Amino acid sequence: MRIFLLIILLLSPASYMFAQNGNNYLEVITNTTLNFTCDAPEDLENDQTINSAITVRVRSRNNNCTISAKLSTFLGPSGFTTTTYPIQIDYTSTNSTRAYNINTNPISLTTTNQTLFNQYTSNSVFNYYYNLILKAPGYTYPLGQYNYVILFTMTQP
């Protein structure tokens, strides 16, 4: 039995444009390959974690900001559909002195934006560190490759 998951990270076009003006900045860094392989029964029965998988870098000079994440695309084996996804991101730490409302619990990603944290206006760039978790998929997922695209967004009032 083999299930292969590939995680792809994207920035929203609006966030990318903000990153270019020098005042507002959002960058997502993958610190390792974001792949999970399930080729043994214990892989289907236990959660898998990629520690220190993602760094989110933020600067927001003009306004406070909110950073969110969601699954923008899911691809599975032909004919398979689902409304529950076994992907979570888990906050571990930050060097920010301007953060507030940090969601410190593992966040199960869905197709709806989930707030990760807020940050007050600052001239500095701050890093937020996350683990990536594959919740035990169990035996309901058919064999095949699964791809998830995680979209990170920065919004300002």
CA 77 to chain centre: 22
Based on the number of CB atoms within 10 Å of its own CB, is 152 exposed (0-12), middle (13-18) or buried (19 or more)?
A: buried
Of the pLDDT bands very low, low, confident and very high (cuts 50, 70, 90), residue 55 is very high
Amino acid 80: pLDDT: 84
Higher pLDDT, 21 or 54: 54
3-state secondary structure of 144: strand
CATH number corresponding to 3-155: 2.60.40
Strand partners for 49: 133
Please name the residues in contact with 9: beta carbons below 8 A apart, sequence gap of 6 or more.
28, 30, 34, 54, 149, 150, 152
Q: What percent of the chain has pLDDT over 70?
A: 87
Of the pLDDT bands very low, low, confident and very high (cuts 50, 70, 90), residue 3 is low
Q: Give the tens place of pLDDT for each residue, 64-87.
A: 999 999 999 988 898 888 888 999
Q: Give the tens place of pLDDT for each residue, 101-141.
A: 999 999 999 999 999 999 999 999 999 999 999 999 888 88
- Check if the beta carbon of residue 28 is closer than 8 Å to that of residue 4: no
Cβ atoms within 10 Å of 47's Cβ, excluding its own? 13
131 phi/psi in degrees, rounded to 5: -90, 155
